[in-house]
Structure 1
């Protein structure tokens, strides 16, 4: 979808040529003149446009306005989250008329956060999956104009928002694909396509290379499937060559039957979403290719299926990870941590500034946090705080969970260095404690996105989360590094 940022006063918006005009009206009095300002005032006075975010009034062919359809939508106090709610409601209201062009105009001033979320909400509300639906109608909205009082000031935020949309939709695309259209091999091809963008490189390792590296835990999960595993390594070089990278590790189980510890048949189709961590890493790299921050990022994606055949991993088997630690597999459905642990060990070779793994890891996290916030676990307070801030800024929120050493007691076993599961209690935490064993050499965070990566029911589909959170974190880190660079340069000159 094509987005455009334009300087538009409320009076100018009245003459904007578009199929539908959505006007975001704040709770404060509007001093602007013209027919739209008058309509807002009349609607407020009549009680037809309450201050609550998302409340709206639809109009057809209002006098003095070029657009056939006009929707006045309240943004309440104008907070970014309220703007997101309002834009979603406004776009949903006009979707039935199949508009090709939309204009979304702020009746009052808008800040960068509000603009970003307006762009993301418009994209999310109009998104349509069509890859395996050849007869489906494509997205009808093709062009969205964002009208603000001063486009030049907000252009950097606008460009970042567009890049974020591209990344989120790339993640949604691969998350939504059925497993036979998103095998480990196809996921690797998607990663290779990103290497066509400047500053991005891709390397793909197969079973022989993984075996040579000693990734016995990863390989053990893959051994029950006829689909060969793939270990994807993406590199984005935006900073200096000697600058330590941030490493993103995405769980890439392209389908999860549970293995011998078989899952229930009901809703097993949703296990195609078990690679949404990997999809989010791909989405971040897609966005990095557009916004090109001055930072180095590495993406690691261990990808395979968790299937059953005569060679499949069995409960009680002991495997040897790349780190040399042995793991007793008490439950083959706790496979995500088995592939991630080898990727975390591999990450050490990059001497990373930070490592963040992203995984649809545990149903226990869904029970704890539902679908609102992703679970955040971290061994580093500064990294955790930065991710929490990024989550708030992007409205792709997370919630920090504990990592007390006592939670690891249940992972003890007589037959290996560690078991891959503990008891039911605190399942999301014990899974994180397992991963922490393999992340002791660098600042590390784990995002459990089992509740936030996709939706079930009538709205079934990938959400593209946490691309927004991760990109916000990386952009903030790049901005901090850029701000520090002149100071370092000045110190060198005085020596």
Structure 2
């Protein structure tokens, strides 16, 4: 999609569709008031007929409005004016895009961002318009004919701002939003691909293709023999049950000074997880193609950093493997040795994500990182605890926790901090190894994070459990692209392109 900025007299703009906001009790937003006046009160007259009162997400399409150059005028309900929240705003944006996709407009000029929700900046309101639009127009078509595709898809969205003084902010918001949206789309597409296409080798090839597009990005792919030399016994123990060789994908983006410590993002890349010997139930096992959404999130964030040419250094690490039952696969009771030298008793082979992550977290030490953030569809327990709205955040670093929470709020990709107390560590005790790979049913998401914490003593670290947020089930089944918006917000702030939230 293409996003543009315009200012000037709305009545004179020629566009296939002009999008205007209406609040409850038929109260026109300011841009709509100007259009109403130019049309001789036509909007007010139509609203009096009662077809639209302003409820959030309700729409009404008008044609041939007198005095208006636009071919169509789309009125969109925004809810109560005094209670106009960001959630209502995004719902209104989505409703407008959904209707536009069903018309033959193709292009539209939207004024919805001028009605800035409570507590939101103009920059974020405009950026939300871009990211929400891109989210709604995304359609998966890689392995199916999209028979429901719009006949005239929305190709261009122009955002209107009231004054020329607002253009610079609008252009920045649009550029950032477009990069975030492209990163989200990449993460969605990788997640939605089936496991027989999106294998560890496929992910490695996609990483190399991404590096070929950007001068500041290089990619190294570690093969199993190299991982063996490094002593990555935990990671390799997971791939032994698969015919697909494991890959450790390493992105290096050099946007800052040579001596600047990088931000390191580590994303779990289980391209399919059957559970191994501790095999999962058959119901909904197909969704385990999404067990690589942490890795997909790293891909999306790295691409966005490159497109925005951010002035910082970034390392992205994606351990990629499958977890399948086989004669060579991990067995409950096996003892494996991690790269750190610590031994692990495998009590459940379906707790494999932490095994590929722990060696990658140890590998992260060599980059002397400013901070390491890992993201993983790690535990069903996190979904039980938090549902599908926030990602679980685990860190002992209060300052880092606040940074991530604030970035999540700004990006509308929210997190909820969970405890990482020493009290939980005893649940990982083993009679036969330095630790077990599970800590029992109680606090499963927390003990998983506790396990990872044992490999992160040498740097600042946070863990994001995205099991509840990385994809949707049911009729709307598909990848969400989260937490790409959160990660890019962190990178924008750490690079100094955007100020850190107070």
TM-score with structure 1 setting the length: 0.92
Which of 101, 104, 114 is residue 107 of structure 2 equivalent to? Answer: 101
Alignment partners' CA distance in 2, 1:236 and 1:107 = 33
- After superposition, what is the alpha-carbon deviation per residue over 1:98-144, rounded to whole angstroms, capped at 9, x for unaligned? 54223222384651111111111111111111111256566622222
Which of 51, 58, 61 is residue 61 of structure 2 equivalent to? Answer: 58
Mapped pair 1:172 → 2:185: no
Mapped pair 1:193 → 2:190: no
Aligned to 1:86: 92
Which of 5, 13, 16 is residue 14 of structure 2 equivalent to? Answer: 16
Q: Is the 8 A contact 1:130 1:136 kept in 2?
A: no
Aligned to 1:132: 143
Going from structure 1 to structure 2, the CA distance change for 1:480 and 1:94 (only over 3 Å counts) comes to closer
Alignment partners' CA distance in 2, 1:428 and 1:335 = 14
Going from structure 1 to structure 2, the CA distance change for 1:366 and 1:39 (only over 3 Å counts) comes to farther
1:260-279 equivalences under 5 Å are 260-279=277-296
SS at match of 2:495: helix
Alignment partners' CA distance in 2, 1:455 and 1:304 = 22
SS at match of 1:23: strand
Q: Is the 8 A contact 2:113 2:126 kept in 1?
A: no
Aligned residues: 480
Which of 151, 156, 173 is residue 167 of structure 2 equivalent to? Answer: 151
How many Å apart are 1:482 and its aligned residue? 9.0
List gaps (5 residues or longer) in structure 2.
117-121
How many Å apart are 1:194 and its aligned residue? 1.5
Mapped pair 1:363 → 2:377: no
Moved more, 449-458 or 98-107: 98-107
How many Å apart are 1:441 and its aligned residue? 1.1
Going from structure 1 to structure 2, the CA distance change for 1:326 and 1:8 (only over 3 Å counts) comes to farther
Aligned to 1:491: none
Q: Is the 8 A contact 2:42 2:66 kept in 1?
A: no
How many Å apart are 1:11 and its aligned residue? 2.8
Alignment partners' CA distance in 1, 2:8 and 2:373 = 41
How many Å apart are 1:172 and its aligned residue? 0.6
Going from structure 1 to structure 2, the CA distance change for 1:75 and 1:151 (only over 3 Å counts) comes to farther
- After superposition, what is the alpha-carbon deviation per residue over 1:239-261, rounded to whole angstroms, capped at 9, x for unaligned? 11111111000000000000000
Aligned to 1:489: none
Q: Is the 8 A contact 2:100 2:154 kept in 1?
A: no
Aligned to 1:3: 3
Alignment partners' CA distance in 1, 2:370 and 2:348 = 33
Going from structure 1 to structure 2, the CA distance change for 1:366 and 1:32 (only over 3 Å counts) comes to same
RMSD over equivalenced CA pairs, Å: 2.2
SS at match of 1:299: strand
Aligned to 2:119: none
Alignment partners' CA distance in 2, 1:419 and 1:302 = 21
- After superposition, what is the alpha-carbon deviation per residue over 1:60-91, rounded to whole angstroms, capped at 9, x for unaligned? 34333344443211335554433211110111
SS at match of 1:471: helix
Aligned to 1:298: 315
SS at match of 2:34: coil
How many Å apart are 1:29 and its aligned residue? 5.8
Mapped pair 1:204 → 2:210: no
Q: Is the 8 A contact 1:80 1:117 kept in 2?
A: no
List gaps (5 residues or longer) in structure 1.
484-495
How many Å apart are 1:52 and its aligned residue? 4.7
Q: Is the 8 A contact 1:10 1:36 kept in 2?
A: no
1:325-474 equivalences under 5 Å are 325-474=342-491
Moved more, 150-159 or 131-140: 131-140
TM-score with structure 2 setting the length: 0.90
